[in-house]
Amino acid sequence: MCGIWALFGSDECLSVQCLSAMKIAHRGPDAFRFENVNGFTNCCFGFHRLAVVDQLYGMQPIRVRKFPYLWLCYNGEIYNFKQLQKQFGFEYQTLVDGEVILHLYNRGGIEQTASMLDGVFAFILLDTANRKVFLARDTYGVRPLFKVLTDDGFLGVCSEAKGLINLKHSTSLCPKVEPFLPGHYEVLDLKPSGKVASVELVKFHSCKDEPLHAACDTVETLPPGSFDLETVKSNIRMLFENAVRKRLMAHRRIGCLLSGGLDSSLVAAVLLKLMKEINISYPLQTFAIGMENSPDLLAARKVAAHIGSEHHEVIFNSEEGIQAIEEVIFSLETYDITTVRASIGMYLVSKYIQKKTDSVVIFSGEGSDELTQGYIYFHKAPSPEEAAEESERLLKELYLFDVLRADRTTAAHGLELRVPFLDHRFTSYYLSLPAELRIPKNGIEKYLLRQSFEDSNLLPKEILWRPKEAFSDGIASVKKSWFSILQDYIDQQVDDLLLEKAAEKYPFNPPKTKESYYYRQIFEKHYPGQGNWLPHHWMPRWVKATDPSARTLKHYKSATQE
């Protein structure tokens, strides 16, 4: 994890512009570099480093003797850099996993480069010999990337939008900042003036397609069309374990978030098992957060005792949670209701990890609900085919919601997030399974995933079959949800008249509740006029829902009342 920033064709003094790069300093607390591009005085790179791999030679922009005309700034981890080196005979100058991007580009161009990377990444690649700039982002947008491109060719790129919104430019009072689409790369021509012109934006990978890099994976390609249940369960276990194993690549201490739900518990259990296998000398630290006696704290305690982790509990009260709202929205760069609610706990637990421990690389369970149909509303899907379509839609929009939350709340405290459920091989295999296999069964969501690990003894049975509990709900008591606590407080902060006129003040995504108005007001204070970063609020489908919380749905109520 780090922070990347670059400008091409700036009309303003770079020493003034580079102040914007300092807005993302939290993403790389270990070191900072600001570098001009030879021959292009109005082009530059800024880089904030969190040293996780190759602590000696990992500064960026990366440049190697073999390709003096290439400049690379990237944020991410490339898990297959050693396999690619072996397959293509690359000679690396450093131990940095991202160096492989330069070699792949030299060998086969940008399309092959982006498609062959097994990992999470956002990068800016400059080729001064061919006068090209390339931008690319991984399939699910696990690593963030924003850009601004003006009509006259001034380009700004940054890990977070806050590093671009105050840039100065002669022809535009307020250049449009927008997220760079996951699973895409963009080609831009670099003019002698340092300005750029976009040539094409290309989608290089779709979540359903087996990735091109599967050909050189440590797990061989699986034969297509074999849907015998025992084979499917075995493949799910094997690919998930492989997803966790490849993410062990780190020179810093590994920890794991543990809510006591199925997803984080599976990650923690497999992670600890693999750490023992490769003789990692320190114990795995797991981290749970909640209010006193919340369901998550109690469940996480059971899991930690079962797997034998060094468990940490972070207990917070409603006042601490409410006090964090503004800094959380500033970090997130969104006003989505369910994202803000869920982010507060994750932000506070990340703050604890940074202050009280030496864990830096943090595993988490994001992506599973979207992939394995874990949301309560999937019980109401009209058909398995529509449930499968909804699953894909959610995966495509992860970068706006759960992945955004997970990145910003951890990055705000200099931590690096790893999400094995979003492994390219694992997701493409799961999505290739017949729609009928993936739907909830016997009133239980994620049935196939649970079934796959039933005989593994990785988790206690009551955890493996624990019903879905949204993170923002599980951290509070069953009697009073976290969203109810928030709404009670906000009710006193927002006047009825303000809400009545909300559509006039915010015509795009107008707030419908006092809670959404309150979040929008804070967002607009820090990011005025940028409401379009969120195309729509996250809401459940196929149910008449007025609130995104699972606890408002009939299925949850009947399950808790039994």
140-164: average pLDDT: 96
Residue 472 is predicted with a pLDDT of 57
Residue 55 is predicted with a pLDDT of 58
Q: Does the structure show a pLDDT above 50 at 560?
A: no
Least confident of 82-86, 109-113, 290-294, 447-451: 290-294
Look up residue 223 and give its DSSP letter: P
Q: Does the structure show a pLDDT above 60 at 552?
A: no
Residue 251 is predicted with a pLDDT of 87
51-62: average pLDDT: 70
Residue 310 is predicted with a pLDDT of 98
289 is in an annotated binding site: yes
| 453-462, Cβ contacts within 8 angstroms, sequence gap of 24 or more | 453/237, 453/266, 456/237, 458/266, 458/269, 458/270, 458/273, 458/307, 459/265, 459/266, 459/269, 459/303, 459/306, 459/307, 460/302, 460/303, 460/306, 462/302
385-401: average pLDDT: 98
Yes or no: say if 326 and 352 are a contact pair by the CB < 8 Å rule. Answer: no
422 is in an annotated binding site: no
Residue 477 is predicted with a pLDDT of 67
User: What is the CATH code for 3-203?
Assistant: 3.60.20.10
Residue 169 is predicted with a pLDDT of 82
Residue 415 is predicted with a pLDDT of 95
Yes or no: say if 416 and 410 are a contact pair by the CB < 8 Å rule. Answer: yes
Q: Greater confidence, 2 or 129?
A: 129
269-295: average pLDDT: 95
Look up residue 430 and give its DSSP letter: H
- The structure tokens listed for 52 are 């996780």
Residue 557 is predicted with a pLDDT of 47
Mean of the per-residue pLDDT values of the chain: 92
Q: Does the structure show a pLDDT above 90 at 418?
A: yes
Residues 6+ apart with CB under 8 A from 225: none
Reported as a single tens digit per residue, the pLDDT across 531-541 is: 999 999 999 99
Q: Where are the domains of the chain?
A: 3-203, 228-555
Residues with catalytic function: 2
Confidence of residue 561 (pLDDT cuts 50, 70, 90): very low
Residue 34 is predicted with a pLDDT of 82
468-485: average pLDDT: 72
Least confident of 43-57, 184-198, 282-296, 493-507: 43-57
Q: Greater confidence, 472 or 548?
A: 548
The full 3-state SS of 317-371, as one line of letters, equals CHHHHHHCHHHHHHHHCCCCHHHHHHHHHHHHHHHHHHHHCCEEEEECCCCHHHH
Q: Does the structure show a pLDDT above 70 at 53?
A: no
Percent of the chain with pLDDT over 70: 93
Q: 228-555: what CATH class? A: alpha beta
Q: Does the structure show a pLDDT above 50 at 559?
A: no
Least confident of 13-22, 331-340, 410-419: 13-22
480-485: average pLDDT: 85
321-329: average pLDDT: 97
Q: Does the structure show a pLDDT above 80 at 58?
A: no
Least confident of 213-227, 262-276, 312-326: 213-227
Yes or no: say if 257 and 362 are a contact pair by the CB < 8 Å rule. Answer: yes
Q: Greater confidence, 205 or 478?
A: 205
Q: Does the structure show a pLDDT above 50 at 398?
A: yes
365 is in an annotated binding site: yes
318 is in an annotated binding site: no
d(CA 416, CA 410): 7
495 is in an annotated binding site: no
Residue 388 phi, psi (nearest 5): -65, -40
Q: Does the structure show a pLDDT above 80 at 225?
A: no
Reported as a single tens digit per residue, the pLDDT across 252-272 is: 999 999 999 999 999 999 999
Residue 478 is predicted with a pLDDT of 63
DSSP for 450-486 reads HHHTTTS-SS-HHHHTPPP--HHHHTS-SSS-HHHHH
Residue 173 is predicted with a pLDDT of 62
